[in-house]
Amino acid sequence: MTYTTAALVGVTGGAGTTRTTLEAAVALAADGADVAVLDTAYATQGLGDYLAGRLDPDLTALLTDRAETPLSAGLVDLDLDAAVDGRVACCPVDAPFERLARAQSVEAAQRFETRIEEAVTAFDHVLVDVPPIAANQAVAAVTTCERVGLVAPIGDRGSDATARTRERLADLGTAADLLVSTGGADESGAADVELPTTEAAFPGCLADERYGRAVVSLVGELVDRDVVGVGEAAGLLGNVSGLLRRE
């Protein structure tokens, strides 16, 4: 069974969740899938750093002032070369504090659930970038998506935060389906997928063979899809144009 919706949850700040989510999306697109990436990391607003152009309306506007506007109005495509058959369309957060506060209400979280459902009708996969679970929109993501993956840095900080996150998920009546470690080998052996460090600019899965194989493994565990053409010796290096706002 291939899953459509998945949330990747950073168990602590700085785990690399946004890039991990986008690398998974690019790998799926390289396999021909159309992928939507939705942002619930309101505090950092990091997804927008990977995008070029105007970010208006952003996701928070679509959950508050422009609740009747179609999701498509807030989607911005990653700048991937035409050689990548699929599409990665992102709905980032780029908002003033006042709107961020309103977008964290229970009502806005309920609208976020409908935005996920709306994305499902237009995309093969919907991935949600989720910060440590401490707000309504994060709760909505992990309780609505079919799959939940935890993203944790290696070491004690990641291990401790992972245990706390699992407890919080249990309080919400759900659980994590996999654990992804970032930053190297997970000596504890608890991770289902280990993402090594990479010196490659984003998207590293198309330029770094070893990193690409790890991202393919992540995609397989997360949505049960066998991705081909990523993590191979030839890769797609040279077929992907540089992104304008972040390497």
What is the predicted pLDDT for the residue at 81? 81
233 within a domain of the structure (yes/no): no
Range of the domain at 31: 5-223
Q: Note whether residue 238 is domain-resident.
A: no
**pTM, rounded to two decimals:** 0.93
User: What's the CATH number where 181 sits?
Assistant: 3.40.50.300
Q: Is the pLDDT of residue 240 over 60?
A: no
In a domain, 149, yes or no: yes
Is 200 contained in some domain?
A: yes
| Predicted pLDDT of residue 59 | 98
The candidate with the shortest Cα–Cα distance to 10, out of 169, 131, 175, 155, is 131
Query: For residue 231, is it within any domain?
Result: no
Residue 239 lies in a domain: no
Q: Report pLDDT digits (tens) over 17-44.
A: 999 999 999 999 999 999 999 999 999 9
Residue at 236 is within a domain: no
Residue 184 is predicted with a pLDDT of 85
| Confidence at residue 233, expressed as pLDDT on a 0 to 100 scale | 61
Q: Tell me, yes or no, whether 188 lies in a domain.
A: yes
Whole-angstrom distance, CA of residue 193 vs CA of residue 99: 36
Cα–Cα distances in angstroms (integers) from residue 148 to residues 50, 103, 141, 177, 225, in the given order = 23, 22, 9, 5, 15
**How many structural domains compose the chain?**
1
Helices (H), the chain: 17-30, 59-63, 97-102, 106-120, 136-144, 156-171, 209-223
